Structure 1
Amino acid sequence: MSRFIDRVNLNVSAGNGGHGCASVHREKFKPLGGPDGGNGGRGGDVILEVDPGVHTLLDFHFHPNAKATNGKQGSGGNRDGAVGGDLVLKVPDGTVVLDEKGRMLADMVGTGTRFIAAQGGRGGLGNASLASRARRAPGFALLGEDGDSRSLVLELKSVADVGLVGFPSAGKSSLVSVMSAARPKIADYPFTTLQPNLGVVSAGETTYTVADVPGLIPGAHEGRGLGLEFLRHIERCAVLAHVIDCATLEPGRDPLSDIDALEQELAAYRPTLDADTGLGDLADRARVVVLNKIDVPEAAELAELVAADVEARGWPVYRVSAATREGLRALTFGLAAEVRAYREAHPAPAPRRPVIRPITVDDSSSFEVRPDPELQDGFVVTGVLPERWIKQTQFDNDEAVGYLADRLARLGVEDALFEAGAEPGAPVTIGNVTFDWEPQTPAGGQVRLTGRGTDVRLETSERIGAAQRKRARKARRENDEEGAEQ
């Protein structure tokens, strides 16, 4: 039996980028024909897409983890690696995407709407792309970047024009069944409806959808009954219809007290949709009151008595019977008029073109140097480019490390460490890598070529760094001795 699931946790992981290739072209009489390593392929994205054929989040309930494929590594002969395939996940219309902290990331309304839930990692450059006048035949390549991984919450909020709200067994499901072609489960016990039911209604030239929300009871906004679980399904409704059971025999209940209790619950509930929907709180929606079950003589008399009191609140009142269909035509056209008035006041916005906002040069190249709270005399460098470059570097390849030093120096990281008071040998952390800083390493200049995968500057910097650390320790010791004598 199919289950209705309208809230799930989803873990998405995009594909990793493929590594670049370090290769040198070789053929007869040309043992060193130049670098020809290809770039790695981009990792696949995880994409959410609205599909009209999907009506529940059931698939994600049983399969909460989604992973796109990785990009392939580049190869020799300037052959780039294959791009990882995107993973497209189908979601129902009206799905809202939230992050772990409950912040809304996307409100997916309309067939074909897409949201990139996790972006694939970039592929690493091969040595053919890294060749320059300084490095004519690089003996290294860049590593591919990891794809995004994140935990999301998906909530389904039904897309309906009219929401039917009321106590259990008020006759909401029966109204949906006689107003539309929907066939919800109907029985004479409370909480028969365990999931929202949608029906399409036609009244003249106006067609609208009606959502039957499981019964509310006092305290629903605090989690009692089923109301809190399903109130989200009327957040998009332009009109709320109170369906009142005029034939109830429960003590202490009457139509006016039922309306007051429902209004209290609606006022206490706070929708999570953002202000761009233009709907506001549930208390601000248009109201109609449906006095149901007038086929029962006592219920008809009660409806006649309370109709004037309800109309005094400024709400249209309809006396109907879902069993005999009495008053149904007036209700159908009355709701159509309310929906039509809302649509005229809130015309549907034109389809929005995707807006691309690339990171400016200043934003992407900015970084920050601050003292490390965990390492004495240490510093932490944070920034988009430094952290990305760290992930791309093969630290078992001296030439790749030298290339990283060149990039950091050109960005200004070395000058910033000087200004922050860093001393030779100070531990510097970028991303998940900590290294001893050697400021005298010549970076950015002409590199004297040695063997592939090596960098003579690193060997020199080790000797220079050892001497500098020795001088620094001697200076601190002399300063301590002078302070002790004074």
Structure 2
Amino acid sequence: MTTFVDRVELHVAAGNGGHGCASVHREKFKPLGGPDGGNGGDGGSVVLTVDAQVTTLLEYHHSPKRKATNGKPGAGGNRTGALGQDLVLLVPDGTVVLDREGNVLADLVGHGTSFVAAQGGRGGLGNAALSSARRKAPGFALLGEPGDARDIVMELKSVADVALVGYPSAGKSSLISVLSAAKPKIADYPFTTLIPNLGVVTAGDTVYTIADVPGLIPGASQGRGLGLEFLRHVERCSVLVHVLDCATLEPGRDPLTDLETIEAELSEYGGLDDRPRLVALNKIDVPDGQDIADLTRASLEERGYRVFEVSAASRKGLRELSFALAQIVGEARAAKPLEESTRIVLRPTAVDDEGFTIIEEDGVFRIRGVKPERWVRQTDFSNDEAVGYLADRLARLGVEDKLWKVGAHEGDTVVIGSDENSVVFDWEPTMAAGAEMLGRRGEDHRMETQRPAVDRRREKQKGRDAAEAEYLAFEALSSGRQASIEGDDEDS
């Protein structure tokens, strides 16, 4: 059963934002209460966070799809939708996050370090937030934006100070078991160690970590055996220790040949030429082991290596080796610059930045930009008023004028967004007044057709009063005319 995984492919999906609500306040004795639709809640994000208690990516190997929750839609009465919950994924210290093309997105080192792998979608605005002095009762709301969805690759690179490298069965696991409290599996056959083992060593006042890197054989840097899978664990180490087997019985092998082979693989892998090296001639307690160590020590020292003759069984030479490693680790730590405090970098928008670009591709005008693409995602194209609002926003941004300048004509195809998620329409220059085409700003025909009954009764009563007053005036006028006629008769 798999117990250690240091590379996984993970599909992460953030939550979608909730839709805004289009609602008009209705209450007795409060006619024309106005819009009261609430905003939608933001979707949850997927966040990778370093946890010192996590040592493997095994959990994500078994369940490679992770999704955060969606935001809830808004409601009437100015009620905002609930926010989606962020999904926090705990990863080991030293995890590198890459995209599918191999580009590094984040290098997570240090407990608590986090990275937003997928950003949650923004919630849509309700019609209460969209109302203004010119648009008093919007009959639409904005849609919530979809959350990010992407495939990422996570690779674990052990954060250790010392790396033990060498052929299988050279005694690396035995050394780490006596230098530290680690208890790796030890046996007398090749490839006993299938996962990197970590141990903590105390030498005087210095405490450092040591890693056993398994599987290095000829051709490991090209993918032979397990070496390529674990060479990444060497990258963060400050010092490398060549563990050479002085008691091997395999034909064609000796300490010098083993050293040259491993160095060739490290050089082929790349990026490790600047690391200091030590050599540990191991198994000097076995018959002929001490003799082979004596024969090869001079040659190794001529090549510039510091050589230590050690034995995991008798523990001979281990104290000298551990203190030598502590000295190199201390020097490496002192040479590192002090961690700088977090700085906030401000990058103001350029003065001439229009916020969008228009590119003509075979007679098609493609509009790209954060704002136009976001506005398109937020628009409900089944609502004419929402489409008109989108046209107004694009016109205010300057899209209409820019299309004229680049040579667009009425009826040309205009595309907003990328090929994967775009909106295509035939350009009509008059659409700049899109919302006004639906009626005068600030008026809502729904408010006329759905007035409260009390208003309708008042208007009827006003009509009856006006009719009665007109009738009384007519009677008065008729009476005056009749009196005038009778008076004329008497005079005659």
Q: TM-score, normalised by structure 1?
A: 0.87
Q: Residue by residue, what CA displacement relative to the aligned partner does 1:39-69 show, whole Å, maximum 9, x if unpaired?
A: 1111101000011111100000011011000
Q: Name the CA distance, whole Å, in 1 between partners of 2:390 and 2:411.
A: 18
Question: How far is 1:385 from its partner?
Answer: 0.8
Question: How far is 1:182 from its partner?
Answer: 0.4
Partner of 1:52: 52
**Residue identity opposite 1:84 in structure 2:** G
Bigger mean CA offset, 156-165 vs 409-418: 409-418
Partner of 1:137: 137
**Residue identity opposite 2:142 in structure 1:** L
Q: Name the CA distance, whole Å, in 1 between partners of 2:394 and 2:257.
A: 71
Is 2:77 the partner of 1:77?
Answer: yes
Partner of 1:398: 384
Partner of 2:108: 108
Three-state SS of the structure 1 residue aligned to 2:316 is coil
Partner of 2:474: none
Q: Name the CA distance, whole Å, in 1 between partners of 2:322 and 2:352.
A: 56
The change in CA–CA distance for 1:411 and 1:167 in structure 2 (over 3 A counts) is same
Three-state SS of the structure 1 residue aligned to 2:79 is coil
Is 2:361 the partner of 1:369?
Answer: no
Q: Is the 8 A contact 1:365 1:383 kept in 2?
A: no
Q: Name the CA distance, whole Å, in 2 between partners of 1:228 and 1:237.
A: 16
Q: Is the 8 A contact 1:321 1:327 kept in 2?
A: yes
Q: Name the CA distance, whole Å, in 2 between partners of 1:400 and 1:363.
A: 29
Q: Residue by residue, what CA displacement relative to the aligned partner does 1:380-416 show, whole Å, maximum 9, x if unpaired?
A: 1111111111111111111111111110001111111
Q: Name the CA distance, whole Å, in 1 between partners of 2:67 and 2:354.
A: 30
Q: Name the CA distance, whole Å, in 2 between partners of 1:180 and 1:363.
A: 61
Question: How far is 1:372 from its partner?
Answer: 3.7
Bigger mean CA offset, 298-307 vs 169-178: 298-307
Mapping of residues 201-350 of structure 1, within 5 Å: 201-270=201-270, 281-350=271-340
Q: Name the CA distance, whole Å, in 1 between partners of 2:53 and 2:446.
A: 55
Mapping of residues 91-130 of structure 1, within 5 Å: 91-130=91-130
**Residue identity opposite 1:166 in structure 2:** G
Question: How far is 1:315 from its partner?
Answer: 1.6
Partner of 1:463: none
**Residue identity opposite 2:286 in structure 1:** V
Q: Is the 8 A contact 1:35 1:127 kept in 2?
A: yes
Three-state SS of the structure 2 residue aligned to 1:435 is strand
The change in CA–CA distance for 1:4 and 1:179 in structure 2 (over 3 A counts) is same
Question: How far is 1:347 from its partner?
Answer: 4.3
Bigger mean CA offset, 222-231 vs 305-314: 305-314
* Partner residue of 1:425 out of 406, 411, 430: 411
Three-state SS of the structure 1 residue aligned to 2:288 is helix
Three-state SS of the structure 2 residue aligned to 1:441 is helix
**Residue identity opposite 1:119 in structure 2:** Q
Q: Name the CA distance, whole Å, in 2 between partners of 1:215 and 1:445.
A: 68
Gapped regions of structure 2 (runs ≥ 5): 448-492
Partner of 1:276: none
Who wins on radius of gyration, i.e. which is larger?
A: 2
Question: How far is 1:132 from its partner?
Answer: 1.2
Three-state SS of the structure 2 residue aligned to 1:159 is coil
Partner of 1:23: 23
Percent identity of the aligned residues? 65
Question: How far is 1:255 from its partner?
Answer: 1.1
**Residue identity opposite 2:237 in structure 1:** C
Is 2:376 the partner of 1:384?
Answer: no
Q: Name the CA distance, whole Å, in 1 between partners of 2:26 and 2:208.
A: 70
Q: Is the 8 A contact 2:391 2:435 kept in 1?
A: no
Question: How far is 1:440 from its partner?
Answer: 2.5
The change in CA–CA distance for 1:452 and 1:256 in structure 2 (over 3 A counts) is farther
Partner of 1:176: 176
Gapped regions of structure 1 (runs ≥ 5): 271-280, 455-486
Partner of 2:483: none
Partner of 1:360: 349
Q: Is the 8 A contact 2:15 2:146 kept in 1?
A: yes
Q: Name the CA distance, whole Å, in 1 between partners of 2:432 and 2:98.
A: 48
Three-state SS of the structure 1 residue aligned to 2:145 is coil
The change in CA–CA distance for 1:262 and 1:28 in structure 2 (over 3 A counts) is same
The change in CA–CA distance for 1:126 and 1:358 in structure 2 (over 3 A counts) is farther
Partner of 1:415: 401
Q: Name the CA distance, whole Å, in 1 between partners of 2:216 and 2:361.
A: 54
Is 2:444 the partner of 1:438?
Answer: no
The change in CA–CA distance for 1:287 and 1:74 in structure 2 (over 3 A counts) is same
Q: Name the CA distance, whole Å, in 2 between partners of 1:51 and 1:107.
A: 14
**Residue identity opposite 2:254 in structure 1:** D
